Chains A and B, each alone.
Chain A
Amino acid sequence: MKNTAWGSVAIVLAVILGAGPILAQSTAETPKASTPATALALAAHMSDPVKRATADHSKFEILKQDFKSGPEVTAACLSCHTEASNQVMHSIHWKWEYENPKTTQVLGKSKVLNSFCGNVASNETRCTSCHAGYGWTDVRAPMPDQPDRVDCLVCHDKSGQYTKQDNLSGNPPLEPVAAKAKTITGADAWAVNLAKAALSVGPPPGRENCGSCHFYGGGGDNVKHGDLSSALIDPTPHVDVHMSKDGANFTCASCHVSDKHIFTGSRLNTNVTDPHADRKPGEARDVATCSSCHSDQPHSKVSVVGRKLNDHTDRVACQTCHIPDFAKGGVATKTLWDWSTAGQLKDGKPYSEEDFTQSNGKQLHTYLSTKGNFAWGENVVPHYEWFDGTVRYTLPGETIDPSKTVTINSVEGSATDPKSRIFPFKLMEGRQAYDSKLNTLAYNHVYGPETDTALWTNFDWSKSIKAGMEYAGQPYSGEFGFVDTYMYWPITHMVAPSNEALKCESCHAVDGRMANLAGIYLPGSGPGIGGKLGLVLFLMTALGVGGHGMLRLIRGRKHGGADHG
C-alpha cells in the first residue's frame, strides 16, 4: 500500500515537473482565445478583392506560431477542422491497408511485397517517410488513433518549402538539419518553416503536393509507376495533354476527386470501365475514368473511322491507344531490378555503376552494392493484358513456384468478359529474394543505419532476410535464393494528344502491339481460318484456270490455234 502511494506521488510530481515548461510555453504562445469581436476584425469587406475561398488561412492567429513539430501544426488545424483527421485516418493514405472486396485479399503498402524495395516492415523510418502521418515506426501495428499525427501539410502546403525527410518516419526536416539529410524527393534537406507552411494553406492540393510522394515511389523520380514523374509538374501536351498548361491544365485532383479525404482511383482495384456510365459527361460522380468525362463513344460519329473506333471501346481501354508510350518528358523509369547481385563490394567498399544516360544527360545507376542491378527505360511501349480491374497479389507466406517467373501481382480479365478491357501496363521485371525451402517470398531488412543486420549497411543477405522475416513474424527456413518476378503497373497517366494516339496498324498488323493477346478477332494480324480456306479456294481456282489455259494453248497449237467457238 505504502509503496503504491509513494509511487503515485512520484508519478504526479514527475508529470508536473516534466510538463511544467511545456504548459508554461503553450500558455505564453497560444494566441488569445478568439472572441466574435476579434474574429470579425479579420473578415474581408466589400472594398477587398473577392477571393475564391471563404477562409484566408494567412489571417488566422492560431497559425502564426513558432511550431516545433508537425503534430503541433495539425493540432492548430484541428481546432477548426475538427473532423479532418478522422476522415484522413479512414483513408488508404493513412492506413496503408486495403481489403480488396473482389478477392478479399488484404493489400496496401503495410501488407504486400513488391519488386522495388520489397517491404516496409523492418525498414519503416525510411519507407514511412512518405506516409501521410508522423512517426509510424512499426507497420506491424496500425497507426494509433492520434488525430494530431495526421500530416495536413504534405497535401495542403502551398508555400512550396514544406517537405518530409527521407528517414524520419514522415517528419519534416527541422532546425538543425542533420548533415547529408535528404528529402523524400532525393534533394538535400533544408529546415522547413512550419508556420510559413501553415499560413499558406488554402488552395486545393496541387500536383507538387501529390507528386512529392507519388512521383518518387520506389526511391527516385519515376522509378516505380513509369507514368508518374516530376515531368508532370510542367509537362508539354506531348507528355500529358491533361496536365499541360497548354492543354487542360489539370491537377491530380481534377480526376482523382475526393470525398471525405478519400480519393478515387486505385491500382489495387482499378476501374477499367465507368461504373456510372448512365451519367452524362461532366456530371458529378465519385469515380475517375476517362469515360467519366469523355463518354464511351468519344470519337467522331460522322466519320467511318470514328464510328469504328467507338466500336472498340467495349474491348479496348482508352489508355491503350492514347498512351502510346510512358516515361515521357525526359524522366526514365526503372524497368528491371535484380536484387540478387546486391552486396558485392570492391576493396571491401560498396560501389556503383552509372551506365544509363537519361535524355536530359543525367547518368542513372545501373548497379549499386546496396540494391543490385537495374535497367531503365524512357518512352517505354506498354505491355498489354486483358484487365477487369482486379489485381491479385502473391502475398507473404503464399507458396510460389520458383521454377517459373513469379507474378508479384497478377491482373485478371479475359476476352470473353464484357467488363474486361485491353489495358496497358508497365511490366516490371524483378529478381527477388525468397525462402528456397519454404518457397515463399522473403522480407528483407534493408534500411537501418544503426543495426548490424540491414543490407544497406552490412551487405549480408542472410542477416538481412533473417531479420526481415523475424520482424514480420514469418516462418523462415534459413535458406534463400533469388527468383524472377513480374509486377504489373497499370498505365493511365501521360495521355498523349489525339494526333499522337496509336494508329490502326499499330495493332492491326502481324506482330502488332496485341500480338500476345488471345481471344479476339484482330484483322491484319494474319489470315484466320476463313482467310486460309479462302486463299486455298482462290489458289485452286487460279491453278485450275491456269491449267485450263495452258492446256488450251498446247492443244490449240496442235489444232492450228483454233479454239474459236
Chain B
Amino acid sequence: MAERFVKVYTRFNRIWHWSQVASIFLLLFTGARMMGMHQIGPFGLAVTVHTLVALALLLLWAFATFWLFTTEAWKQFIPTQNGLRQVIRFYVWGVFRGEPHPYRKQYQRRHNPLQLLSYLALKLVLFPAIWMTGLAYLTYGFWGHLDTSAVWLTVIANLHTIAAFAIASFVVVHVYLLTIGHGFREHVRPMITGFEKVDVSPEAEAYFAAEKPERLKV
C-alpha cells in the first residue's frame, strides 16, 4: 500500500457538495428569518428564496440519488461496524492525547465508520424529514380545506423546524471536525481540487495508471 494523490471527489461530487453548502446556508438563513430569529430582509423575499432554493436542492438531490445508484458511489455509504469503536474512542479520548486518527482513508472508502453513519443518518433520516415536511408545508393549498388542517400545519411546521435545527447542528459538527487531524485547510482542499492522499494498493495504482491516468496525480 502506498499513499497517492487520487481524485476521490469527481466534479459532480464537488458541485453537489458545494451546492448543498450554499443552499443549506440560504435555507437556514431564510428559515430563521421566517421564524423571526432575525429581521434581515423582507419576510416575503425570505419565503421566495426559501421555496425556490429548496426546490432546486430537491432537484439536485434527485440527480445525486440517481448518480449514486448508477455509479458505484452508493457503495461508499454501506455502513460498517469495522473500526467504529476505535474512531469513537479517538474522538472522546485519543484526540486529547495527541494520538493519530485511527482511520486510514481509502479510495473506495473515503469516510471513517462514524462519519459514514452520520452521513447515512443525514441522508436517510434528516434530509427526508426536512423535504417531506417542507413539501407538505408548501402544498398546503391542496389539503388546507381539511377541518384539521390548522393542527396538521402546526405539526408539520414544528417537525420541519426541528429537522432544520438538527441539520444546522450537523453543519456545526461537520465543520468542527474539519479542524481535527491534518487541519481545516487540508480537509477542505480535496473538496475543491478533488484530489486527496489515500492508501492505494499496487493493483489499483496500476489500474489508474492504465485506465484512468487523470485520476492519479503523480
Residue numbers of A with Cβ under 8 A of B are 303-305, 307-308, 310-311, 314-315, 415-416, 418, 503-505, 508-510, 519-521, 523-531, 533-535, 537-538, 541-542, 545, 548-549, 551-552, 555-556, 559-560, 562-565
Contact = CB atoms under 8 A, between A and B. Distances in A.
B157 interface: yes
A555 B96 contact: yes
Nearest to A310: B141
Interface of B: 34-37, 39, 42-44, 47-48, 51-52, 90-91, 94-101, 140-141, 144-151, 153-154, 157-162, 164-166, 168-169, 172-173, 176, 179-182
B166 to A, nearest CB: 6
Given A505-B43, A537-B165, A563 B98 contact: yes
B96 A551 contact: yes
A314 B43 contact: no
B98 A559 contact: yes
A405 to B, nearest CB: 28
Contact of A418 (B47, B140, B147, B159): B147
Interface of B is mostly: helix
Contact of A534 (B98, B141, B165, B180): B165
A538 B95 contact: no
A357 to B, nearest CB: 35
Contacts of B158: 528-531
B144 A528 contact: no
Contact of B95 (A303, A314, A535, A565): A565
B42 to A, nearest CB: 7
Given A524-B36, A559-B97, A563-B95, A311 B176 contact: no
B48 A305 contact: yes
Given A534-B162, A538-B169, A564-B182, 9 more contacts: A304-B48, A510-B36, A521-B150, A535-B165, A538-B172, A552-B96, A559-B97, A564-B98, A564-B181
Contacts of A310: 141
A503 to B, nearest CB: 7
Contacts of B47: 304-305, 308, 504
A251 B35 CA distance: 43
A560 B148 CA distance: 62
B157 A525 contact: no
Contacts of B161: 527-528, 530-531, 534
A418 B145 CA distance: 7
A508 B165 contact: no
A524 B42 CA distance: 12
Contacts of B91: 548
Contacts of B101: 565
B176 A530 contact: no
Contacts of A526: 36
Contacts of B95: 552, 563, 565
Contact of B34 (A524, A534, A545): A524
B42 A534 contact: no
A504 B165 contact: no
A556 B98 CA distance: 7
- Listed from nearest, the 4 A-B pairs whose CB atoms lie closest are A534-B165, A530-B158, A504-B43, A530-B161
A129 to B, nearest CB: 47
Nearest to B169: A541
